[in-house]
């Protein structure tokens, strides 16, 4: 079965409500690599619901995490905010300088990302981690962690293999300037942590009021207990041997919680460029991706891949193959599993699950997602039709749609035009219709091809200008001229677009003016 369905079946054994979770630190622009964790958790949540298991999906925003450094998009003025929790830092303005404080740094970057999640059908319960600290949600676990400090130290050192400093403490209080950095704990009297900061100022932090936070490995383990999380996929950096997942499991138990089963996912890579990384700038943002790729296809990219296999994301030529695969599976669902081998049955169920989980709206009919118009056909029309109205007219004439297009198809065409006009559209897919035969085209066509085009021109002049009639004329012309269909199609492409390959020839011809085509082919 599909990996999400398999995980749901495994979670059923835990009993009770299942809580899938994912998290993110809103320190800068997000990239679609983050979507793998989010969609993996969301798809497992959907699979639980499909299996009749009570489930919810939460999205934890690490708003209590501190600003680590002044990123390239920030002005030097943010130097004074390093070490401050992101929830308490002013959002950057368009010039990269701190704004008037009406919006927070965390909310500034989180808002557009949540909008992108809405577009791909992800509707989580959003949890701002700083609010959990402020409301006292962590207080019990902070107190337990402090009382069992040496046991936790032993777990981290033994499993991760790294030594902790002598003054290490499982709670980082906020200093007098609002920073979590450079603050040394001097004592603890529940609920107050006493400290001295790098400025020499002494003070106390109340563990019930969000006046500090736990180190990441303990914070993560405490969240599992606080929210009752039963499923949280994590990247291979956290899931590696000795990583924060391995230390989190025993720490969570020590804090009195029940940790989730360990689920590790591989990263998404940009084709030929390696894993995406915000710090290196090697990214494609989710909004940018959604401006090019239909949301169902973006979900399918993740749904079709085993969770422990890396994904090579390509917004170029491979996007056609991905869309072809998706459309083929939607158009030809498995109707009868009887007589299949075990291997065929597994493949069929996996593919069916991937299509089901690729829908923006759970339970939606997959056929509605592309509205009867293939990705390739829409790509061709978007290039040879100047206006959207001409595209709809063509689709009505060919029977792809009847009347006005669906809203989803209007959005798909808009995305297609953005892709075609942008840097990611593959050069080999670009169409530029020729008005006359160039010398290069004549050389590519050759003498036999010229004879074929002459016969084709004659046959086309007598047929109805419909895709099926044109296709039949091409077949008959190939037979009359004594050349293979492959050679015939190549000759047509050379004549029309100046290369030996292209979209479906009969469809391309059908969208062109008949007299213009006859004139062009007749010149052969």
CATH of the domain at 449: 1.10.10.350
Q: Is residue 384 part of a domain?
A: yes
C-beta separation of 145 from 222 below 8 A: yes
The Cα–Cα gap between 60 and 126 comes to: 6
Q: What is the pLDDT of residues 406-425, one digit of tens each?
A: 888 998 999 999 999 988 88
The neighbour count for residue 336, using CB atoms within 10 Å, is 7
Does residue 475 share a domain with residue 409? no
Give the distance from CA 361 to its chain's centroid. 16
Question: What is the number of structural domains in the chain?
Answer: 2
The Cα–Cα gap between 212 and 190 comes to: 14
Q: Quick one: what percent of the chain has pLDDT higher than 70?
A: 96
Does residue 515 share a domain with residue 443? yes
Does residue 446 share a domain with residue 396? no
Res 216 pLDDT > 90: yes
Q: Is residue 131 part of a domain?
A: no
- Which backbone phi and psi does 201 adopt, to 5 degrees? -85, 135
The neighbour count for residue 314, using CB atoms within 10 Å, is 18
Does residue 504 share a domain with residue 459? yes
Q: Is residue 137 part of a domain?
A: no
- Burial (Cβ within 10 Å: 0-12, 13-18, ≥19) of residue 339: exposed
Q: How does DSSP assign 122-180, residue by residue?
A: ---EEEEHHHHHHTTTTHHHHHHHHHTHHHHHHHHHHHH--PPPTT--S-EE--TTS-S
Q: Is residue 417 part of a domain?
A: yes
Q: Sorting pLDDT into bands at 50, 70 and 90, what band is 281?
A: very low
Q: Is residue 293 part of a domain?
A: no
Which residue is associated with the tokens 């169920």?
A: 349
Res 282 pLDDT > 60: no
Res 270 pLDDT > 90: no
Structural domain of 481: 439-522
Which residue is associated with the tokens 């459309």?
A: 327
Closest CA to 25 of 278, 269, 283: 278
pTM: 0.89
The neighbour count for residue 198, using CB atoms within 10 Å, is 14
């Amino acid at each position: 079965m599909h990996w999400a369905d398999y995980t749901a079946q495994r979670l059923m054994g835990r009993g009770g409500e299942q809580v899938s979770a994912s998290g993110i630190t809103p320190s800068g622009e997000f990239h679609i690599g983050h979507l793998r964790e989010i969609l993996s958790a969301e798809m497992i949540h959907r699979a639980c619901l499909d299996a009749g298991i009570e489930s919810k999906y939460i999205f934890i925003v690490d708003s209590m995490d501190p600003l680590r450094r002044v990123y390239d998009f920030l002005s030097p003025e943010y130097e004074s905010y390093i070490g401050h929790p992101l929830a308490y830092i002013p959002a950057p303005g368009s010039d990269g300088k701190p704004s008037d404080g009406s919006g927070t740094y965390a909310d500034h970057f989180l808002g557009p990302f949540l909008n992108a999640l809405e577009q791909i059908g992800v509707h989580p319960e959003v949890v701002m981690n700083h609010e959990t600290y402020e409301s006292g949600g962590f207080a019990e676990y902070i107190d337990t962690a402090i009382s069992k400090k040496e046991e936790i130290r032993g777990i981290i050192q033994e499993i991760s293999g790294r030594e902790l400093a002598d003054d290490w403490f499982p709670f980082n209080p906020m200093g007098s300037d609002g920073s979590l950095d450079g603050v040394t704990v001097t004592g603890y009297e529940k609920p107050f942590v006493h400290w001295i900061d790098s400025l020499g100022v002494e003070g106390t932090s109340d563990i019930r009021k969000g006046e500090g936070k736990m180190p990441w490995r303990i914070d993560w383990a405490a969240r599992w207990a606080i929210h009752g999380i039963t499923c949280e996929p994590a990247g291979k950096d956290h899931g590696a041997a000795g990583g924060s997942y391995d230390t989190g499991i025993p720490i969570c138990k020590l804090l009195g919680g029940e940790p989730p089963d360990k689920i590790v996912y591989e990263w998404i890579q940009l084709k030929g460029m390696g894993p995406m990384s915000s710090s290196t700038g090697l990214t494609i943002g989710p909004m940018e991706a959604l401006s090019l790729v239909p949301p169902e296809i973006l979900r399918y990219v993740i749904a079709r891949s085993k969770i422990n296999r890396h994904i090579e994301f390509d917004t170029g030529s491979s996007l056609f193959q991905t869309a072809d695969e998706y459309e083929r599976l939607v158009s030809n669902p498995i109707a009868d599993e009887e007589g299949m081998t075990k291997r065929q049955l597994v493949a069929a169920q996996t593919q069916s699950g991937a299509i089901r989980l690729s829908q923006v709206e759970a339970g939606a009919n997959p056929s509605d997602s592309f509205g009867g118009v293939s990705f390739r056909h829409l790509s061709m029309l978007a290039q040879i039709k100047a206006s959207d109205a001409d595209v709809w007219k063509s689709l009505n004439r060919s029977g792809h749609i009847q009347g006005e297009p669906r809203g989803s198809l209007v959005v798909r065409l808009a995305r297609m035009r953005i892709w075609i006009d942008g840097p990611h559209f593959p050069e080999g897919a670009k169409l530029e219709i020729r008005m006359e035969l160039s010398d290069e085209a004549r050389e590519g066509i050759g003498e036999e091809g010229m004879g074929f085009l002459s016969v084709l021109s004659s046959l086309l002049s007598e047929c109805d200008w419909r895709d099926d009639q044109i296709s039949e004329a091409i077949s008959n012309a190939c037979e009359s001229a004594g050349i293979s269909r492959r050679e015939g199609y190549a000759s047509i492409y050379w004549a029309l677009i100046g290369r030996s390959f292209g979209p479906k020839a009969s469809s391309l011809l059908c969208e062109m003016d008949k007299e213009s085509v006859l004139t062009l082919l007749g010149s052969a």
